[in-house]
Chains A and B, each alone.
Chain A
Amino acid sequence: MQNLTNRSKMVSDKKMTFMEWIYVPAIIKGMSITIRHFFSKKTTISYPEEKREFSKVYRGQHVLKRDDQGRERCTACGLCAVACPAEAITMRAAERKPGEENLYREEKYAAVYEINMLRCIYCGDCEDACPKEAIFLTDRIVASQYERQPFVYGKDILVEPFDLNLRIDISARQTDAVAQFKSVKRYAHNK
């Protein structure tokens, strides 16, 4: 018969030798292997108590930054929504009213800003696209849920707290090199 592949092997039906037949040497060999594993270091990370160290530039749950005076940086330009390959970002812009200067940095702001965390692929393109340095990916993990609806994160979750001490640290992602790169207007998405 012609072989279809070269990988076929003849099955041998040889008689067991005496040492094989009494099984004992093979059993002892096997038991020595298992006992070595018994005392070896376990690779498991007990998750809630023990957390795996993430890369400094890990791309997890997003944050909408405030500036030093606690004003929202986002101006609802929609570049992030355009850049998003998964079309996870939705927003509705609104105009700032007099007296709201302490809340929003620019005249326009996002009244509704939603990211569907189930659609998001955590590529970080929104961060690249943002001209106002308002959106960043952080090393936080998106919590699991039982329903789909809670995965649509609104501003209540995304915008960082007003308190300076509770601000989300994004210094690992917003390095000088990144800032420099963003200042180059030659690149399309920096315009």
Chain B
Amino acid sequence: MDWTELIFKTIFLIIIFVVTLVVAMYSTYGERKVAAFMQDRRGPNRAGPFGLLQPLADGLKMFMKEEIIPLTANKNLFIIGPSIAMTTALLTGVVIPWGGTISIGGRIFSLQVADLNIGILYVFAMVSIGVYGIMIGGWASNNKYALLGAIRAASQMISYELAMGMSIIALVLTTGTLSLHEIVSQQHGMHWNIFYQPLGFFIFLICAFAETNRAPFDLPECETELIGGYHTEYSSMKLGFYLFAEYINMFISSAVIATLYFGGYNMPFIDQLGLSMNTVTFIGTFFFFLKIFSMIFLFMWIRWTLPRFRYDQLMNMGWKGLIPLAMFNIVATGIYYFFTELK
């Protein structure tokens, strides 16, 4: 890797970092607006035009709040918890292909920070580490509600990761690769994986909701029974980190879903337009973000529609519903490819 490549990657990394944070920031605004609209309200509209400065005000408020570390808490772990949640949430973005290739001064750069040949596994690893943030935070708080929330989060994540992994196995059977870049380029045109793996997509989507702790799976932080779940004892920006990590996770999982099932930065009829490479990449990235935002909207739409599951219902659905379904999906996909490859 030479210097220009390194410089480009560094700049690109910083851009992704900033974009992720900004999108997550405005997801909080979007969430409040969507919630308000679905409840026939107006939503935040006082800070700035259409309330667009609301996220800044919220962030400022978080910084201004008093920082409390409970006396009985394990101080180091108490601080490490939100840090892990935030870090792992941000780390996933590096393997996602944000666009095609662009040429700057005759050199060609790919709009993906790291094209790992095991991209999907990397995403999974990061998501799995993410649960440690919640676990450690909940445990270090030394509070029964926080601990209960953490336990719920852990068991929920483990249960749904199984089904999620199995739906991915079926996808890998279809694509034949684990690299996200490869998966996206295979979906060129309208060969989106959702048409080949509708059931897999369905399972993956449900699991994505569970993995990001979004409603109807927000049991770890259900305020009616657990006060605030794992972040009961947190205040100030450490609480802000937890809440923010949730929105980053939502953004990243939307990006992963768009990459895996909706063709990533591909858009239909792009080849027929006869545009230059940079333009195509630009439009593709725009289209990719459009897909991501639609997914985020779906996340919010579901959150403000459905009530929370009961814990036994959650476990029932994970173990007795989704895992057999995902297994069936693998077998069906396997059989299909076994017989079609034979011919």
Contact = CB atoms under 8 A, between A and B. Distances in A.
Interface of A: 22-23, 27, 30-31, 33-35, 37-40, 42-44, 46
B38 interface: yes
Contacts of B271: none
B103 interface: no
A30 B38 CA distance: 11
Given A33-B305, A44-B40, 16 more contacts: A22-B321, A27-B302, A27-B305, A31-B301, A34-B38, A34-B304, A37-B38, A38-B37, A38-B301, A39-B37, A40-B40, A42-B40, A42-B41, A43-B40, A44-B41, A46-B45
Contacts of B41: 42, 44
Nearest to A44: B42
A54 to B, nearest CB: 22
A176 B302 CA distance: 59
Given A27-B306, A46-B45, A34 B301 contact: yes
B134 interface: no
Nearest to B37: A38
A33 B45 CA distance: 24
Contacts of A33: 305
Nearest to B302: A31
A106 to B, nearest CB: 50
Contacts of A34: 38, 301, 304-305
28 contacts: A23-B317, A27-B302, A27-B305, A27-B306, A30-B305, A30-B306, A31-B301, A31-B302, A31-B305, A34-B301, A34-B304, A35-B38, A35-B301, A37-B37, A37-B38, A37-B39, A38-B34, A38-B37, A38-B301, A40-B40, A42-B37, A42-B40, A42-B41, A43-B40, A44-B40, A44-B41, A46-B42, A46-B45
A37 B34 CA distance: 10
Nearest to B36: A42
Contacts of A27: 302, 305-306
B38 A38 contact: yes
* The 5 nearest A-B residue pairs measured at CB: A34-B305, A30-B305, A34-B38, A38-B37, A44-B42
A27 B202 CA distance: 13
A42 B305 contact: no
Contact of B40 (A23, A30, A37): A37
Contacts of B305: 27, 30-31, 33-34
A39 B37 CA distance: 7
A34 B321 CA distance: 26
B331 to A, nearest CB: 20
A43 B301 CA distance: 20
A27 B215 CA distance: 13
Contacts of B37: 37-39, 42
Interface core residue of B39, B45, B302, B305 (most chain A CB under 10 Å): B305
A190 B321 CA distance: 81
A83 B286 CA distance: 71
Contacts of A44: 40-42
A42 B306 CA distance: 21
A46 B301 CA distance: 25
Contacts of B39: 37
Nearest to A41: B40
A40 to B, nearest CB: 6
A42 B37 CA distance: 8
B320 to A, nearest CB: 10
B280 to A, nearest CB: 33
A35 B297 CA distance: 11
Contacts of A46: 42, 45
A159 to B, nearest CB: 35
Contacts of B321: 22
Contacts of B34: 38
Nearest to A31: B305
A51 to B, nearest CB: 16
A39 B301 CA distance: 13
Interface in B282-341: 301-302, 304-306, 317, 321
Contacts of B42: 42, 44, 46
Nearest to B41: A44
Contacts of B301: 31, 34-35, 38
Nearest to A35: B301
A44 B46 CA distance: 14
